Each structure stands twice: as structure tokens, then as C-alpha cells.
Structure 1
């Protein structure tokens, strides 16, 4: 509360869940549209809003609970970070409605802030990325999309509203939201949503309350969609989130003499404008323009070094067109982004980094023959960074990609691909702008990814499997010797694979999924202190079960099993394995009345554990908290 204000992919791994089938089945049951594969047939993991609602997602760890290739560590919600195959989100291209979330405020806290209730879908692209996935996606890309008015309005409705109220037993917390949506005219529809939550300190699986982990949050979303003609659409949106709490200076650590509690305030504002023009009968013109502005800030009030205010801003635009030529589809365009980071304190004064990246790209999808498909593309990016009290950098390079898919049978496809991604110097961690500067001879980072896999479907079964090899050369990190500098520290290698299997029978959907990744820097496994790069994760299994008991009642189970990690960096402890069990029940008592009751139990058996992506026990100062114990969540929703 605020006081003042080796790489293994055994035969067993081939028994595991197809996200394609699971998501497709959800789409049929929930009437949501889910894109689950790109044109090159590579599997793309997608999480839809129905899944988030049933699981009552309230933070990032809830959003990715059923996605084995994604881990979320940090303990408390504010310190949670996303790791894709063990690679931290700082090395990914993360967007919200197409707006790049570039700012890295403070390495002790997560850089992504979003309200799950406002999410329509989350798409996770690991491995070989396309040229259209944006600049600098060294380890992959994650795209969040928020809801539109059309997602809530029925075809014959002019207006409506949705009210939700939820309770969380673990934090004795409350959450409420109100959403209104309407067709203002025959061509214009709008949506406005407000979400408020008040959560107390969470209790871990040992029954211990973790002090100063509670918070008050406010989130809002406004969207206006204008259909000027059947060929033209304009979408304007404003997405905002506020968080305030009296929490530890380093919220992912337990209290110590160097980690006291202070008042903190965080906020993020994202403004986007999307224009789409696709005239009927024209195969060569499908124009999309996406402009955005994201502002984010973190303020430490009366902290150990005074009042600190860190602010990040990203302003960008992406213009692309898609042309179809018989068996060839070509998407081409240009994007531009300016980033600024500001740090203000009474002790150190003001510091500012200013950077930009501009790129041109093209991506082609070519049906070579009836059984062969080739997708290939490239982007050329130029980076420029001017550091406060430091050097100026100009980096550039080409990022090509190609994937060949062979479909020997109608229900079987096999693919192999490779890609390279370069990332030049960008704005530094904002809360350290007064600290380490970049080495004058710092070079751009280069990621080389190779991936091969297959997709198979038979009756009610679906199966996918893939192997990957990632190498990132000239990884940039801060040295531990003085003077501390940001410099190229070596090569990161990450090998692994995943496989998925799912079965859909009438009203029952079952899936089992597996992921293995072993990221290493210069031959040593990543650890808790390789901040900004990633961490080592044990093999992860996820089992999901959804059963539509009646038209009004749906039940589900999610199990996440993480194996013990013994291959760790020198000087670091092994990471114990753990198993988490979640259940949910969603009931619509009256078939003709839009009342929904949802009961979700997270960590059913109150397991005391620390996520492998969370900070461990390094010393008396740097010791991470355990994660949340059992949490019984109840939600009442009414739409009219």
C-alpha cells in the first residue's frame, strides 16, 4: 500500500501438445478467431482472450502459464520479466497493438506493463523471424493485441456494456472493470474500458507473507474504429496503465540493509493509429500504416539516493503494402523509430540517451509447386545512438531469412529455415544512464538462427515438433570491472527443441507440450546475474485439459512441470524442479442471460517454489522471493 502517496529431444518429447489444435478448438468453442500458423507453416504460439478469462490472468506469469517456451520470473507482478527459450525480453521485439515497447527502465523490474483483461490475443514467434517482425528481434518477437469494439458487439447490437468484479484470496485483493462499446454511427464504433485493482502483499507456498509486494493499479483502453468505405479502415487507440505502491527498491529481492522499501510510481501510455486500405479487385494494393507513441516512466520517491525519475519514449511508424501475384505474395515496406531515455535525480542531475532505427524490408511467400513453399525476406536497418556523457554509434546491417516447406501429404508438412538478425546500439537502461557508458568500439549484435520442424494432423490428433540452434555473436553486457562499460562480451549459444501433441474429441480437449533450451554465454550457462540477456531454465512440460460439461459449464486443468536444472554456471546453485496445478470452472447459469461466474484456483496444492526465471539465492543481499502460493480467484461478469 502507499504510505504517502546438451541438448536433448528424446522420443518422449515427441509425445507432446499441438498448440495448433488446442487453439483451433478453443476458437470453435469460444467464437474467437485465432491465427495459429504463418504462411510458411511454422507453428506460432497464440494465446486468446477466452483462455485468459478462464484462467483469470492478472499478471504476466498468468498470461504465459500454459506456454512452455515462455517463462516469467520475478516473484511480484511489478518485477516479472518474460523469457523466451531462456532469452530475456530485452533481446526480443515486443509490441502492443504494433507499438514497440523499447524502454528498459530498471533491470530489477520488468519492462512490460499490460492489463490482461484488455488483451485480445498474444502471439509468440520464436526461432526464425520474418522481416515483417520488426528490427532487432534477436531472440524472437511477442505481439500483444488489445480488444476492439467488434470483439464485443454482436452483429445486431448498437451498444452494450460489460461489468466484471473479481476477488483474489492470496492477496485479499479486489479487481473491477467496466467496458462500454457502441456503434456511434453506421461507420464508427467505439470502446472504452477502465480497470481498477487493489492487491495486498502475496503469500508464498510456505505461508509467509512477502512484505511490500502489494499494489494499486489502474488501466484504461479507448478505441475508435472508422470504416470509411468497405475498403478503408482507421483505428485509433489509447492504452494506459498506472501502478503505485510502497515496495522494495529492488522488488525482486528480499529485504536487506541495501534493499529498503520506498514509494514508487510506474506508468505507461501507448497511443496508436492504424490505417488499412485494400480496394476490392486490386491484387497489388493492400496498404497498412501504423503510427505509435509509447511513454513509460518509473519514479522512486525519497529513495536511498533521493528522488529518481526515469522516463522512456518511443515514437515510430511502419508503412507496408502487400501485393499478390498468382503464386507469389510479397509484403514490403519501411519503418522508423525514435527512442529517448531520460534520468533525473537531485544527486546526479539529468542524463539523456537518444537513438533511432530506420529500416526497409520485404518478405515473399512463394508457392513453388503444389507441395513446396518458400518464404524468404530481408530487412536493412540503420541504428544511431547518442549517449549522455558517452560515445555516438552508427550501426547498420542486413537481416535475411528463408524457410522451405515440403508437404508430402495433405496432413503433413516439413520445414527448415535459417535467418540472421542484427541489432545496433539502442538506448541504455534508463535508471543507469548516469552509470556505465558504452565502449567506444562497441559493435552491433548478430543473431543466427536455424530451425527445422514438422506439422502433422490426423483425425482428431495434431502434432508438431521442432529443433532450433541460436547463436548471438558480440553480445552486449556491462562489465564487472571498473570502469564499468557496456561492451561486447562474447557469444551466446542456445540449442533446444520442443514438441507438441493434442487430441480433440467432442467436448474434450487435451494437450501435452514440452520445451528444452540451454542458453550459454562463452560456454557457461546463463545465470541470475546475466541481466538483460537471459537465464537457464529446466525442461518444461505443460498439460492442459478443457471439458465442456454442458452448454453452460466448462471445466479445465493446467499443469506446469519444470524439471530440476543441474547444469548451472560455476558458483551458482542448482535449481530444484517443481510442479504447479491450476483448475478452473466457468458457469453461465442462464442460457439467455449474459451472466458468467468463473472460479479459478492457481497453485492448487500451495507449492513453495521459485520460478527458474526468478532470481535465486546468491548472497544475503541478492536473494529472490519465492513465488505466490495458492490463490483462489472468483470472478463475476455481466454483459448487456
Structure 2
């Protein structure tokens, strides 16, 4: 965190002006204080995304295996939110019956969440929120002037799981290198008290929740000078093992041995002081996603393998300039191209492809000592080519297969530092996005007849680009050891996309209203936290029961208490997460149905002991879901075949570094 004249500005600027590449977090302006991304606490063993984001009341993650963790932000599902890791991103997935995001927490240095429609610098298609993460480097882990180090960690879970990781890192002159590997082996876990399913009728074991994983990160950096640095990285996340074809469900209708792998290649450059340009950040990347499993048609094995593939290539350029030593200007360009394909008993079929680019400029203007204005303008263009539909013999059918459009979107934010410890903020962001590509699996998932493949689609001739508008007002108050912040918001999405009868069209308008609040209190070694988040989506079209786009949820609450002892070096803590019940409508006409999500309350306790009184050796003991509660997260499909969350778990882990 960089501190200057103002003492409250950093609390609100993050949500208003610093999105996308967040170049402004290096600001050295007299009137600006900007907070860096929250750093992940690696003294604790964190094994999945659900645990990595457990302290976020405003982010929800579904139950099931690591292949079925559906993430939602303010009621928006995984097809509508993004994940940006080291400025690389893809908006395409292999199979929509499993989670879209693969990220190993042991690789993560820092993570933050932007909610709702993004500002101009947020990136391509950021209409509903984005999770931004940065992976660790050798420089982050080397300590006390050492040129070589290592970190090893492992954790045992009484609920049928074990995982571990090993990192090696070093620096020689201007070159630094990190090599990281991790693994996990989770068997079908047990749900809470009172659960049973049709597969395991005499136990609480949840079918189809077993997965293995093997993840790797290689990261290289070279300092050309003190102001110029180049880097290269390779990241791979792999989930594999036996399970049911649809990992978000527990029944055993189509068993497979599935391997889902994502490989990311990234080249980057950072520099400073190019005349008028104070900071420059550029990268080029390629993401290769692959899924391999047995091929089913009409729920029967064909004897072939199904190979589904996604490819994403892109580049980003972000520049920052100071104006009169009082203002900050961010500007840049984003490029991205995506395509899909799939091969099975019907042969190799090319799917959809899409090209996008965006240009943006965003200013942070200091208006005296109390006001800060942010203004932005973003231009986006996309071209989408679908595969088109075919008849039962595979012959093409006439129809519209391509669409192209451009949009210009403004963003506006205002921060008023009423006092040195109290600030008000407001923002009005407009954003747009192109249609998401059909998941690669659906290109050949044709129920035994080529004309039924849902990944072969047309485009409605009257298709309009989806537009989002976010209006939000909030406050931040800091007094002594208290920190309280909150906001109310309304987001409207016009021309909401749908894929109906294998045609991409507009469904209507979605309005989401809600509010959020957080409280932190730190008094010596005692820390208290509390939070509440609620988002209520309402549409003029029928909602579905899938977890991809809109997920109505009950009000979410969180509480936490922790205390750190100096001698011995020991931290004790308790976390609580609560969800209120929620009724909502799906379908329309004769298919209309009232759904209800059941509320729940779950409690965890944890102990972190540092035997050497240093943070390089940690022993962790956690009891999750201490009441052995049987419950289902609100961030997943709402029916009986959805896997419930894990029951009581005793976790023992350790990590050591030097």
C-alpha cells in the first residue's frame, strides 16, 4: 500500500477506478493512495477455490468435486463472470456440466474480486464481475537475501482426501526461476448427517465427487535493468479420474474416466519511465484446454473416445501516464481469439470461433483535497462464427452463422473524502459482451443424431449485443481499530443472451438489486469480522435451473473471530457462513415451477501453530462443518441430483519453507 496525503482514498478507489491491470496501484501522486491486491496467506493449507475464497461473503461456490465448483458473484453464474490469472483469460469451456475455472491455490500470490459491470479498463466482456489472480514468483518467496529456497506442504483430510505441493525457486544475478508442482487425491466424500443417495444408500458417501489433480507452474523472470523486466511462464491444471460424465450430478448413469487439462503459456514485459508513459505492462498468451473421456450417444458407449478442445490466444497492452503530477491516465488495448473443436465416433468437427478487441482510456482526476473523479471510455468489437446446423446426414442447413458488432461504453466514478476517516463513493459503469462460445463437448454431444448437437448453432438475424449498466453507491468508515464499508447497487442487463433451439438470440432484460456490508475490528491480537451480501435478480423472461447464467440465492452472512498468541506462536479462529432460504420461479406457462433453496448455517474452527515462532514452518488443524450439517450451496443447480457440500472434516496440514 502506498500512503500519501489522504488516509481514506485507498479504501474506495479499488472498487471505482482500479480494475483491469490496476496500473494505478503503483501511483506516487501526492493526492492518491492505492491499495495493492490482497495477498493470499500461505501459512495455511488451502486446497481448492472454495477454501481460497471462503472469507468472501459476496462470492459463492457450489458443492461437489473440484471439477464441479460453480462460482457466482451477485447471482451471476460462471458463464457471465471472468477469471484473469497473470493477465491471461479465456471465456470458453470444454463441458458446461462441470466448473469452468481451474486454479490451484498453491500457485496464487494475490487475488481480488471485481463485482458487476466493470470500468473501462476492466477488460473484454466484463459485465458481471471478474476474479483476478497473480501467481507467485521466485522473488516473492526468497527471503533474507537468499538465492535459493524451497517450500513443501501437505494436508490430510479425514473426509477421504490428501494433497501436497513442492516449490523450488532461486535467483542468479538478474534471472529468477520458480518451479512448482502440486497434487491432490480426493475420494467420494461424505455429506452431513442424514444424507443418502441411490448409489450409496447405506452411507453418507456422495457419489461422483472423487477427483485427482496434478498441477504445475514454471515461471521465469529477467531484469533487463531496474526499470525493465521480461518474464515467461507455463501453468498447467489437470483434473482426472473415474466419475460420472456430468460432474455436477451424483447419479451414476454414464461412468467415464475423464481427464480435463488446461495449459497456459504467457510472455510478459513491464517497464517504467518512457517519457510521457510512466508504466507499461504488456503480455501475449495462449491457453490450450483439452478434455478426454469415453464417448456416449443416447446414454450408450460407442467404443470411441471423445476429445474436446478449446484454444484461446490473446495480448494486452496497458499504459499509465501522469498529468501535471495530479492526475492519472490509464489507456491500452486488449486482444483475444477463441475457438473450439471436438472429435468422437462421428469424426472431428470444428466448432465455433470468435475474435475480439477492445480499446480503452480511463482517467483518475484529483479535484482538490476531498474529491476524486474517475472517467472512462471503452470501445469493443467482436466477430463470431458458429458452425451452423446440419441435418441427420450431416449436410449443412441454410441459416445465419456469423455476427459482428461494436459497442462504445462509458464509466464514471466519484469519491468524496468527507473526513480523513469517512468517504462516500458512487459509480456508473456501462459494459457489453459478446455471446459465449458453445462448450466444446456439445459440438459432438448429439444424442446419436448429428442434427441434435447443441454446439452446432445459428445466430438470430435480429441478435443484439448484450449491454450491462451498474449503478452503485457506497461508503467506507475507518475509526481506530474499526473498518466498516457497504454499498447498494442495481444492475440492468439488456438483450440478455440465450441459446434456444440451437439459435443464439436475446431473451429480454435482467435487473439485479442488492446490497453488501463488511465490518472488521482489530484490537491487539483479537480480530473480528462480519459480512452480509444479497443480490435479487428479476427477469422479464423465464429463468432456468442451471448454474451457468442466473443463480437466485438467499441472503448470505459471514462471521469470524481469531486470536493470535505471541508465546507460543499460535492462532485460534472460528468462521461462520450462513444462507437464508430463497423462493424463486423457473420456467413459464405449463413449465413454470416454484423453487426453494434451503437456508443453512455452517461453522469451522482452525488452529495455526508456528513451532519455530517464524512463519516458515506452520502446522494447521481445521475442523470444517463442525456440526456435520447436511446442506447444499446456493451456487449450483437446485435439485436432488446436485451434490451436497462436504460434512464434517478434520484437516491436518503442514508447510515448511527456507
- Deviates most, 559-568 or 510-519: 559-568
Matches within 5 A, 1:299-378: 299-303=292-296, 304=300, 306=302, 307-325=305-323, 326-347=325-346, 349-378=348-377
Distance 1:505 1:38, change over 3 A: farther
Matching residue within 18, 31, 52 for 1:63: 52
Displacement of 1:425 in angstroms is 3.2
Select the structure with the greater relative contact order (CA < 8 A; seq sep ≥ 6).
Answer: 1
Q: How many angstroms apart in 1 are the aligned matches of 2:125 and 2:350?
A: 25
Distance 1:341 1:226, change over 3 A: same
Matches within 5 A, 1:107-122: 107-122=96-111
**Equivalent residue for 1:12?**
none
Distance 1:37 1:497, change over 3 A: farther
Distance 1:546 1:195, change over 3 A: same
Contact 2:238 2:261 (8 Å CA) reproduced: yes
**Equivalent residue for 1:199?**
186
Deviations for 1:347-376, whole angstroms, at most 9, x for unmatched residues? 364122111101111111000221111111
TM-score norm. by structure 2 comes to 0.86
Contact 1:46 1:124 (8 Å CA) reproduced: no
**Equivalent residue for 1:439?**
459
Contact 2:208 2:249 (8 Å CA) reproduced: no
Contact 2:74 2:116 (8 Å CA) reproduced: no
Distance 1:494 1:46, change over 3 A: farther
Q: How many angstroms apart in 1 are the aligned matches of 2:309 and 2:524?
A: 51
**Equivalent residue for 1:181?**
169
Deviations for 1:570-628, whole angstroms, at most 9, x for unmatched residues? 5133111101111111111123694221111211111100011122226xxxx212111
Contact 1:128 1:401 (8 Å CA) reproduced: no
Q: Secondary structure at the match of 1:449?
A: strand
Q: How many angstroms apart in 2 are the aligned matches of 1:361 and 1:123?
A: 21
Deviations for 1:253-296, whole angstroms, at most 9, x for unmatched residues? 1215xx3211111001111122011039x563311112111111
Displacement of 1:438 in angstroms is 3.4
Contact 1:318 1:333 (8 Å CA) reproduced: yes
Contact 2:37 2:111 (8 Å CA) reproduced: yes
Q: How many angstroms apart in 2 are the aligned matches of 1:128 and 1:404?
A: 16
Matches within 5 A, 1:459-474: 459-474=480-495
Displacement of 1:523 in angstroms is 6.4
Contact 2:119 2:430 (8 Å CA) reproduced: no
Q: What 5-or-longer segments of structure 2 have no aligned partner? A: 1-9, 15-24, 194-202, 390-400, 444-452, 587-591
Q: How many angstroms apart in 2 are the aligned matches of 1:477 and 1:440?
A: 10
**Equivalent residue for 2:560?**
544
Distance 1:409 1:330, change over 3 A: same
Matching residue within 266, 269, 273 for 2:260: 266
Q: How many angstroms apart in 1 are the aligned matches of 2:94 and 2:157?
A: 29
Matches within 5 A, 1:11-160: 48-50=39-41, 53-54=43-44, 56-160=45-149
Distance 1:613 1:496, change over 3 A: same
Displacement of 1:637 in angstroms is 1.3
**Equivalent residue for 1:453?**
474
**Equivalent residue for 1:408?**
418
Q: What 5-or-longer segments of structure 1 have no aligned partner? A: 1-18, 24-34
**Equivalent residue for 1:575?**
597
Q: How many angstroms apart in 2 are the aligned matches of 1:601 and 1:69?
A: 23
Q: How many angstroms apart in 2 are the aligned matches of 1:549 and 1:176?
A: 27
Matching residue within 489, 497, 504 for 1:476: 497
**Equivalent residue for 2:159?**
170
Contact 2:411 2:428 (8 Å CA) reproduced: yes
Q: How many angstroms apart in 2 are the aligned matches of 1:631 and 1:231?
A: 48
Q: How many angstroms apart in 2 are the aligned matches of 1:410 and 1:626?
A: 46
Matching residue within 159, 183, 190 for 2:177: 190
Distance 1:245 1:45, change over 3 A: farther
Q: How many angstroms apart in 2 are the aligned matches of 1:198 and 1:107?
A: 23
Report the RMSD for the aligned CA atoms in angstroms.
Answer: 2.6
Displacement of 1:429 in angstroms is 2.1
**Equivalent residue for 1:11?**
none
- Deviates most, 230-239 or 271-280: 271-280
Distance 1:53 1:111, change over 3 A: farther
Q: Does 1:288 align with 2:308?
A: no
Contact 1:393 1:425 (8 Å CA) reproduced: no
Contact 1:131 1:362 (8 Å CA) reproduced: yes
Deviations for 1:458-507, whole angstroms, at most 9, x for unmatched residues? 1111111101100111111122xxx4422111111100011111111111
Q: How many angstroms apart in 2 are the aligned matches of 1:495 and 1:41?
A: 31
What is the count of residue pairs matched by the alignment? 595
Q: How many angstroms apart in 2 are the aligned matches of 1:65 and 1:36?
A: 28
Q: Secondary structure at the match of 1:497?
A: strand
Matching residue within 624, 634, 648 for 1:612: 634
Contact 2:295 2:344 (8 Å CA) reproduced: no
Q: How many angstroms apart in 2 are the aligned matches of 1:449 and 1:38?
A: 29
Contact 1:477 1:532 (8 Å CA) reproduced: no
Contact 1:174 1:197 (8 Å CA) reproduced: yes
Q: Secondary structure at the match of 2:50?
A: helix
Contact 2:117 2:468 (8 Å CA) reproduced: no
Q: Secondary structure at the match of 1:132?
A: helix
Contact 1:98 1:290 (8 Å CA) reproduced: yes
- Deviates most, 210-219 or 41-50: 41-50
Deviations for 1:281-322, whole angstroms, at most 9, x for unmatched residues? x56331111211111122222443542221111111001210
